Amino acid sequence: MITDWFVGLLTLIYLGVLFAIARFGDRRADAGRSVMTSTVYALGIAVYCTSWTFYGSVGRATTGGFSFLTIYLGPTIMFLFAAVILKMIRISKTLRLTSIADFISARYGKSPLLAGLVTVIAVIGIIPYIALQLKAISYSLRILFPDDVEALIPDALETLAFMPDSTAIIAIILAAFTIVFGTRHLDVTERHEGMVLAVAFESLFKLVAFMAVGVYVVWFLNDGFADIFMRAELMPKIETLLQPDSVSYTNWFSLTVLSGLAILMLPRQFQITVVENVDENHMRRAVWLFPLYLLLINLFVMPIALAGMLHFEGKPFVADTLVLTLPLAEGNSAMALLAFLGGLSAATGMVIVETIALATMVSNDLVVPFLLRRDSEFSRRKDLSGLIMLIRRCTIVFLLLLGYLYFRGAGEAYALVSIGLISFLAVAQFAPALLGGMYWKDGNRKGALAGLLLGFGIWLYTALLPSFARSGWIDSGFITEGPFGITLLAAHGLFGLTSLDPIAHTLFWSMFINVGAYFAVSIMTRQDPGEVATANQFVNISTSGELTTKIWRGTASADALVELLKRFLGPKQAQSRLQRYAKSRGLGKIANLQADAEFVMFSETQLAGAIGSASAHVMVSSVVQEEELGLDEVLNILDEASQVRAHSRELERKSAELEAATRDLREANDKLLELDRLKDDFMSTVTHELRTPLTSIRAFSEMLHDDPEMPAEDRTRFLGIIVGEAERLTRLINQILDFAKLESGRVEWAMEDLDLRGLLADTAESMTQLFRERGAGFLLDLPAGDEPVLVNVDRDRTKQVFINLLSNAVKFVPTEAGLVTATLRTADGFATVAVHDNGPGIPLEYQSLIFERFRQGGNTMTDKPQGTGLGLPISREIVEHFGGKLWVESTTGEPEADGTPGVSGSTFYFTIPLAQD
Amino acid sequence: MPKGIQKSVPKLAIVGLLALLAFNYPILSLFRGHLFSIPTLYFGLFGAWLLVIWLARAAADPQRRSTPRSALPVEETKA
């Protein structure tokens, strides 16, 4: 059996280990070798699981089925929206914010009123929760020692009049721990690494303890999961309890939302997740390790609950303590002790962190502002750092005392047992002001105050008072019948809403009215000038940077600021920080510091870490003459800043556009230069081409003119040459004009459907004279049959192309045995005309040149030009206008490899699309 | 340019939306009956939970396989 002294020793050893771990953590931190890894951070966050989880989940599972899981699914989902937490961390680090009250107040112009209100709500909502942890410790002791509740205290001491009970002793030890490791530095932003390490250890311990009990219950007391579930479902109502149909989905959803909000808003979670965060990248592990922790600690809840119900079937039992009573009933004291220590670790971890968080809020946002305002002696003191530290330590003792007294006073009352979710509901009231403030610039102080007050009011009336009533402290009539018999105002059925369970009911109405008031009042009223800057900084924390220093304008004395820092931070601390700051601004000595906006802001932020942003603002304002900026002025400054940003974006855009335009222009210029070059070429070629016939005309004319006695036969020959050259000149000019017209697209086309067959035959007929003169043969090969080959073309232009090709061909055929063949075929929707000659052929390198203007096959410098050099380019223009192509295939008659003489000749092809009928 | 955890924020949010769907009506109502004599809801809840955790880990905290970290600077000097 369990002996009392052994349990007492074990408890002391456990708490001693906590002290040792915390001391180790702090030592390492002081030595610069931080123990804060991402795993420690994630385990620290598991302070979320209190004794309410350790003992209470099993209790909830016996009556609510799987709905106890919502308390852990909500945080799991919330952690996946890591952006919210990361933004909170970033804002808090930038502004040295140390508590949720500080956070909310800083957002709304560092309002002391708001900070105080948040603190009051937190204290009222959380103190009973701390009391619940103490009760869990006391209750677990009572289960271990049913006969002598105070078994841990030696009988000799018990008779002493001042001797506290064992729960009080544990509370005192916890207060000592919290004071030693939670208030090492005045500045809360200096982290409590030892405390976090101890809490992480506690998290690990309670998980191991709970899973050990789970494994013991499932595999040692029973035959595994299937066995427990199968036997349990034989009991009345259990089978339906484990099916999804027993779940009320509205309540399920409400509880998920509620716990998701609580994981952000609970002061202890804010402390660990935001204030104690060293590196935002630690969230990388926390986002999955913390949910995994929650999963593991819940894995055995349902089996333990069912096994307990099976074990105590028919007998009375308390479901909330099954984790402890089940091993005890089986006589396994080792397991029972492990469970006891697990419960102890869950309770103490919560008490420690929650007390630190609350103490920071109470001392910074209630006590210090009160003293600063009321007690002139207080504010005249030379060094306040020690006093402030003392205040914080006293607050810790006071808060734990408050929790203890509540536990003693409330005892078994419903108000205490049900406080878990009621606490969640209280802190959820912070959500609209906090989240709204982070993402909505126009949310203002009045809106936050209205939302918080109304939400808190609804919470008091629909959640806290009913729990008092059910404890029998006040009359319970208002819960269902409403005050003075007004049913519409019934606390659990406000405005007739009776379909929700009490928690969902309070959540709905408080959030509805809180959010509604926050938005409505924010929209209807204006922000104070002081708020605008911080609102901007919160919402745009990643981009705003140095904005706040622009908002501040006034006169200050650097000495006064230095004095102020020394008074609140202590001379040594202040000295070292100022030194560092001076160095960072490149000033070297503290004496060189100028009291500019940046220094004022620096002082205020430093003070905020120690006494909260609201008090810090008040104190700094007391030594500097701040020029009260009007709202319009502040808005102008912010506007300017955002306009500067907008301008620079605009500039970037414009310069990109300019670059693009420059590129286009350069391309266009290159093209123009190329065209200009081509034009010059063209002009020089044209003049050259024109001069040749002109020169010969002039030469022969001069000879005729100079020599009147020239024989008639010579005269006739010369005149013939002159006429021929003049004709060539005319033709050349006509063709140049024609080509220019084609290129500029000013030709009028008389398009018609006509039969290519007839057109080719007619044209060939008109050319027979030419072939005969050259002594060349001509063959026209038309497709078999007499079906017309219809194309949509301009008759004269098509004729021009054909004549051009034929006259070219006849020019190059040999004088003897010259042969020109013209072939017409249709294929693939095109009519193809091929004009073949057996001339010398065109070398490959000339084949593309001949389609350029004034280029002819052969050497133009030596050979006498045989044409204008415009025929082929013009023909190509025409054919392409009809939608066809013109090209040449040619062989120059190189001898084959085996020595047989090659066949030379050229074939010009042109295609014209067949007319669509 | 977001670094570290900031880079995984959008992916995590998608997992979060999935979780919000998975842990509420009507998905939950699908887990009726029994599997190996254990209520299907037990498997459904814890299975989905484990999946969400696994996805969150893959998104936010990818474990470096045996690739030695010292390999990185070598590549950098090459470049």
Question: pLDDT tens, A550-597?
Answer: 566 667 777 778 888 888 888 888 888 888 888 887 777 777 777 777
As a whole number of angstroms, the distance between CA A701 and CA A716 comes to: 12
Instruction: Say yes or no to pLDDT of B16 above 80.
Output: yes
Looking at mean pLDDT, say which of A259-273, A375-389, A567-581, A848-862 comes out highest: A259-273
Given pLDDT bands bounded at 50, 70 and 90, which one contains residue A168?
confident
Q: Which residue of B4, B39, B50 is in closest CB contact with A243? A: B39
As a whole number of angstroms, the distance between CA A353 and CA A99 comes to: 12
Site from B37, B43, B46 to mutate, A interface, most A CB atoms within 10 angstroms: B37
pLDDT reported for residue A140 = 83
Q: How far is B52 from chain A (nearest CA, A)?
A: 8
pLDDT reported for residue B68 = 44
Comparing A687 with A293, the larger pLDDT belongs to A293
User: A341 exposed, middle or buried (CB, 10 Å; 0-12, 13-18, 19+)?
Assistant: buried
Given pLDDT bands bounded at 50, 70 and 90, which one contains residue B75?
very low
pLDDT reported for residue A119 = 92
| Contact indicator for A169, A13 with CB cutoff of 8 Å | no
Looking at chain A, the domain(s) classified CATH 1.10.287.130 span 646-742
Candidates A437, A375, A367, A443; CA nearest to A398 is A367
Provide the 3-class DSSP secondary structure of residue A471.
coil
Q: Do B9 and A82 touch (CB under 8 A)?
A: yes
pLDDT reported for residue A107 = 87
Question: For the ranges A64-68, A159-163, A172-176, which has the lowest average pLDDT?
Answer: A159-163
Comparing A393 with A30, the larger pLDDT belongs to A393
Instruction: Say yes or no to pLDDT of A295 above 90.
Output: yes
As a whole number of angstroms, the distance between CA A302 and CA A28 comes to: 41
Question: For the ranges A3-12, A640-649, A693-702, which has the lowest average pLDDT?
Answer: A640-649
- Residues in CB range of A12: below 8 A, 6 or more apart: none
Instruction: Tell how far CA A61 is from the center of its chain.
Output: 38
Question: For the ranges A210-219, A328-337, A624-633, which has the lowest average pLDDT?
Answer: A624-633
pLDDT in tens, A658-700: 999 999 999 999 989 988 887 787 788 778 778 878 888 888 8
How many CB atoms are located within 10 Å of the residue A688 CB? 11
Instruction: Say yes or no to pLDDT of B77 above 70.
Output: no
A226: chain B residues, CB-CB within 8 Å: 36-38
Q: What is the Cβ-side half-sphere exposure of residue A354, based on CA atoms within 13 angstroms?
A: 32
Q: What is the mean pLDDT of residues B38-53?
A: 87
Q: Do B38 and A77 touch (CB under 8 A)?
A: no
Which amino acid, one-letter code, is at A424? F
Give the residues across from A913 on adjacent strands. A830
Chain B residues with CB under 8 Å of a chain A CB are 4-6, 8-9, 12-13, 15-16, 19-20, 23-25, 28-34, 36-39, 41-42, 45-46, 49-50, 52-54, 56-57, 60-61
Provide the 3-class DSSP secondary structure of residue A831.
strand
Q: Which CATH number fits domain A4-412: 1.10.3470, 1.10.10, 3.30.870, 1.20.1730?
A: 1.20.1730
Instruction: Say yes or no to pLDDT of A860 above 90.
Output: no
Comparing A398 with A784, the larger pLDDT belongs to A398
Site from B1, B9, B15 to mutate, A interface, most A CB atoms within 10 angstroms: B9
Nearest chain A alpha carbon to B16 = A80
pLDDT reported for residue A452 = 92
As a whole number of angstroms, the distance between CA A687 and CA A356 comes to: 101
pLDDT reported for residue A283 = 86
Q: What is the mean pLDDT of residues A275-283?
A: 85
pLDDT reported for residue A505 = 86
Q: What is the mean pLDDT of residues A93-105?
A: 86
Instruction: Say yes or no to pLDDT of A522 above 80.
Output: yes
pLDDT reported for residue B67 = 44
Candidates A54, A28, A55, A56; CA nearest to A40 is A28
Which amino acid, one-letter code, is at A390? L
Architecture of domain A751-913: 2-Layer Sandwich (3.30)
pLDDT reported for residue B70 = 42
pLDDT reported for residue A631 = 61
Q: How far is A61 from chain B (nearest CA, A)?
A: 12
pLDDT reported for residue A892 = 78
pLDDT in tens, A527-563: 877 788 778 778 877 765 555 555 666 677 777 788 8
Candidates A577, A185, A622; CA nearest to A380 is A622
Q: Is the peptide bond before A814 cis (omega within 30 degrees of 0)?
A: no
Q: Which residue of B20, B37, B57 is in closest CB contact with A77? A: B20
Q: What is the DSSP letter of A914?
A: B
Given pLDDT bands bounded at 50, 70 and 90, which one contains residue A473?
confident
Report residue A871 as tokens: 């025929």
pLDDT reported for residue B71 = 39
Instruction: Say yes or no to pLDDT of A440 above 70.
Output: yes
Strands A554-555 and A904-913: unpaired
pLDDT reported for residue A788 = 82
Q: Which residue of B4, B33, B46 is in closest CB contact with A284? A: B4
Q: What is the mean pLDDT of residues A729-754?
A: 81
pLDDT reported for residue B79 = 33
Q: What are the angstrom distances between the C-alpha of A11 and each of A14, A338, A343, A344, A345? A: 5, 11, 11, 8, 10
Instruction: Say yes or no to pLDDT of A141 above 90.
Output: no
Q: Which residue of A77, A78, A244 is in closest CB contact with B31? A: A244
Given pLDDT bands bounded at 50, 70 and 90, which one contains residue A156?
low
| Contact indicator for A177, A26 with CB cutoff of 8 Å | no
Looking at mean pLDDT, say which of A123-137, A204-218, A783-797 comes out highest: A204-218
Q: What is the mean pLDDT of residues A609-630?
A: 75
Q: What are phi and psi of A626, to 5 degrees?
A: -85, 130
Instruction: Say yes or no to pLDDT of B74 above 50.
Output: no
Chain A residues with CB under 8 Å of a chain B CB are 66, 69, 73, 76-83, 86, 225-226, 229-230, 242-245, 247, 249, 252-253, 256, 280-281, 283-285, 287-288, 291-292, 295, 299, 302
Helical pair A529-539 and A82-95, crossing angle rounded to 10 deg? 130
Site from B25, B38, B42, B51 to mutate, A interface, most A CB atoms within 10 angstroms: B38
Which amino acid, one-letter code, is at A532? V
Comparing A613 with A164, the larger pLDDT belongs to A613
- Residues in CB range of A98: below 8 A, 6 or more apart: A92, A188, A189, A275, A360, A364, A608, A609, A612
ipTM strictly over 0.90? no
SS3 per residue for A839-859: CCCCCHHHCCHHHCCCCCCCC
Given pLDDT bands bounded at 50, 70 and 90, which one contains residue A312?
confident
User: A77 exposed, middle or buried (CB, 10 Å; 0-12, 13-18, 19+)?
Assistant: buried
Looking at chain A, the domain(s) classified CATH 3.30.565.10 span 751-913
Helical pair A558-569 and A571-584, crossing angle rounded to 10 deg? 130
Q: What is the Cβ-side half-sphere exposure of residue A24, based on CA atoms within 13 angstroms?
A: 12
pLDDT reported for residue B1 = 41
Q: What is the topology classification, in CATH, of domain A646-742?
A: Helix Hairpins (1.10.287)
Looking at chain A, the domain(s) classified CATH 1.20.1730 span 4-412
pLDDT reported for residue A897 = 63
How many H helices and E strands in chain B?
3, 2
Given pLDDT bands bounded at 50, 70 and 90, which one contains residue A859?
very low
Q: What is the mean pLDDT of residues A850-873?
A: 61
pLDDT reported for residue A390 = 86
Where residue A824 falls (left for φ over 0; alpha for ψ -120 to 50; beta otherwise) is: beta
pLDDT reported for residue A899 = 64
Q: What is the mean pLDDT of residues A759-763?
A: 85
Given pLDDT bands bounded at 50, 70 and 90, which one contains residue A207?
very high
Given pLDDT bands bounded at 50, 70 and 90, which one contains residue A377?
low
Q: How far is B65 from chain A (nearest CA, A)?
A: 16
